[in-house]
Structure 1
Amino acid sequence: MSHVSDTLDTTIRHTGERTAVVVVTGDVDLHTAPVLRAQALTAVGQGAPHLVLDMAQVDFVDSTGLSTLIVLMHATQEAGGSLRIASVPDRLVRMVTMTGISQLLPMHDTVADALAALAAGDAADGTGPSR
């Protein structure tokens, strides 16, 4: 009973003092979403509350994957950070847009764009929005 799609790889690259890029490879679904959540929350716990998810290598995201993005967004905000998604494949953009998540989560064409926007945002407000 081996499911090839049950694999998800994440590579975490710290790009700044408080920023990490999480490169996600594979499907984000019921089986793999907990892996992504755990890895991302570990990065936040290690002092990188600003996360950029590089989705270029993601084949599929189901509702569990989408709700995981929301969980991570709240977790990063609580840590004084933010969550951005970058390089979302065209076939996933529509789903993310349809569900309304794109209004909550900034989507960027590239990781570099996301990091630039993050840097600009940091410089602009310093502390981030208060709730």
Structure 2
Amino acid sequence: MRYGPAPLTRHLRVHQDRGHTVLEFRGEIDIAAAEEIVPHLDAATAASDARVVIDLTRVEFFDCSGLRLLFRARHRVPAEHGRLHLVCAHPLTLRMLRITGLTRLLPPHPTLDAALERPGATSGPV
């Protein structure tokens, strides 16, 4: 039986998958959750050649604080050297990402496998 690593916070679990650091956001991503997540997000995106996936599959609520986290990650991972993927299939969250234009900068994938199967499908230019 395999066990994944325990969550770092109530709202975040971090693990490695196929050479990428996966930040799995969980529960309600609001201003309090964002404060817990920022240090871990910054650590995962610190290297110029960072390979990061932000997985929103287990998110139940996502507000502008969550959007700020995604924009922060996009700004910290340069497209020319790093890789940043987003996993999101929730219709309301996807709608918010489309309205804000974030889907153009960070095209969402429906599953973690889909994000990691296509190495060329990364975030676009800022």
TM-score, normalization: structure 1?
0.74
Question: Percent identity, aligned pairs only?
Answer: 25
Uncovered stretches (5+) of structure 2, i.e. residues with no partner: 1-8
- Tell me: CA distance 1:78–1:107, structure 2 relative to 1, closer, same or farther (3 Å): closer
Kindly name which structure, 1 or 2, has the bigger radius of gyration based on alpha carbons: 1
Contact map agreement 1:10 1:24 (CA 8 A) in 2: yes
Residue 11 (str. 1) matches residue 13 (str. 2): yes
Aligned position for 1:33: 34
Alignment size in residue pairs? 116
**Residue 43 of structure 1, CA deviation:** 2.2
| Partner SS state of residue 45, structure 2 | helix
Aligned position for 2:108: 107
Amino acid paired to 1:85: L
Q: Would you identify which runs of 4 or more consecutive aligned residues in structure 1 move more than 4 Å?
A: none
**Residue 117 of structure 1, CA deviation:** 1.6
How do 1:1-131 residues align onto structure 2 when only pairs under 5 Å count?
Answer: 8-17=10-19, 19-45=20-46, 49-77=50-78, 80-118=81-119, 121=120
**Residue 48 of structure 1, CA deviation:** 7.1
Contact map agreement 2:88 2:94 (CA 8 A) in 1: no
TM-score, normalization: structure 2?
0.77
Uncovered stretches (5+) of structure 1, i.e. residues with no partner: 1-6, 123-128
Contact map agreement 1:37 1:72 (CA 8 A) in 2: no
Provide the C-alpha distance between the structure 1 equivalents of 2:69 and 2:81, rounded to a whole number of angstroms.
Answer: 18
**Residue 94 of structure 1, CA deviation:** 0.8
Amino acid paired to 2:18: G
Contact map agreement 1:33 1:68 (CA 8 A) in 2: yes
| Partner SS state of residue 31, structure 1 | helix
